[in-house]
Copies of this chain bind each other. A is one copy, B any other.
């Protein structure tokens, strides 16, 4: 029978996790093992902090999301929030709430996958907490990042006349989830996008550093919701050109693609006078396509032009929302 966290105990589990993480960078003064971690802040930078959790039965289904998927995604969704602020990742703390029956091998896989993404994103996992769960597995991650004061990307800076851009493609994650619900063993490319979203860390930093974007938000709850949130925060409206949307797979309808969440792409607003700067960003982050999908308007409406008719954008996913 496999060994569980109940066989190992909390302190042995913490030691095991620590040994699976890479050596801490020199700016981590004190890592896992004391009452708290101690890190050096980045000089002359502001600190960005955000938290996000994955809850079994709500954000993932263990029937098709393995522990490595869960570990990756729990960090990725937080890195996506840092990217949307233009912040460089710095430190992460990991709160694991585990059923006593959780296999040690699953904890190992979760940690290894998170550590692999952390290494690529250059974020140090400096501490955390482990508790028992009488119910679902919960992975709660908090990350910090650093950003120059004048390079912060907020949701609220969009101005009428700005052009709206989106990175990558939209719809893949929603299509992947649908595939997995129909066939939990599916390995279609869109299932990978759903299970292992890639945060747009480099693009977010470039958009802030080069002062290209006036406003930015990530697509955690879908494109339509992101446009809504940016417009509301900026006190403007928006018009999306449905024919310009980078929808993948092509079989998705516009409604499906703009409503589907979890693509973790970036939506950002750029003044037309900064098109050259944007071209430079595109050159530097050439692995990520960027597509113009609409514009910011002076009225307060948020709509899409679909086959010549305007439709109001739908609202996105909310916890506890009515069906």
Contacts and interface: CB of A to CB of B under 8 A. Distances in A.
A155 to B, nearest CB: 5
Q: Which of A30, A34, A57 has the most CB of B within 10 A?
A: A34
Interface in A102-135: 126-135
A134 B36 contact: no
A140 interface: yes
B46 A9 contact: no
A230 to B, nearest CB: 10
B233 A132 contact: no
A142 B319 contact: no
B81 A152 contact: no
Given A35-B217, A135-B135, 12 more contacts: A10-B320, A33-B155, A36-B87, A38-B48, A51-B127, A55-B131, A57-B135, A58-B131, A58-B132, A95-B142, A98-B320, A144-B144
A128 B148 CA distance: 22
Given A9-B322, A321-B9, A134 B40 contact: no
A279 interface: no
A71 to B, nearest CB: 16
Contact size range, A: 35 or more
Interface string A64-88: 0000000000000000111011010
Given A9-B322, A132-B319, A37 B58 contact: no
A162 interface: no
B131 A134 contact: no
Contacts of A6: 320
Contact of A134 (B45, B49, B58): B58
A131 B56 CA distance: 11
Interface in A136-162: 136, 138, 140, 142, 144-145, 147, 149, 152, 154-156
A189 to B, nearest CB: 27
Contacts of A13: 320
Nearest to A80: B35
Contacts of A138: 97, 138, 140
What is the oligomeric copy number? Answer: 2
A319 B129 CA distance: 11
Nearest to A91: B49
Interface string A207-228: 0000000001110000000000
Interface of A: 5-6, 8-11, 13, 29-30, 33-41, 45-53, 55-59, 80-82, 84-85, 87, 91, 93-95, 97-98, 100, 126-136, 138, 140, 142, 144-145, 147, 149, 152, 154-156, 216-218, 233, 318-322
Nearest to A42: B41
A322 B11 CA distance: 12
B318 A11 contact: yes
Contact of A46 (B33, B40, B135, B149): B40
A49 B233 contact: no
Q: Which of A59, A82, A100, A321 has the most CB atoms of chain B within a 10 A radius of its CB?
A: A321
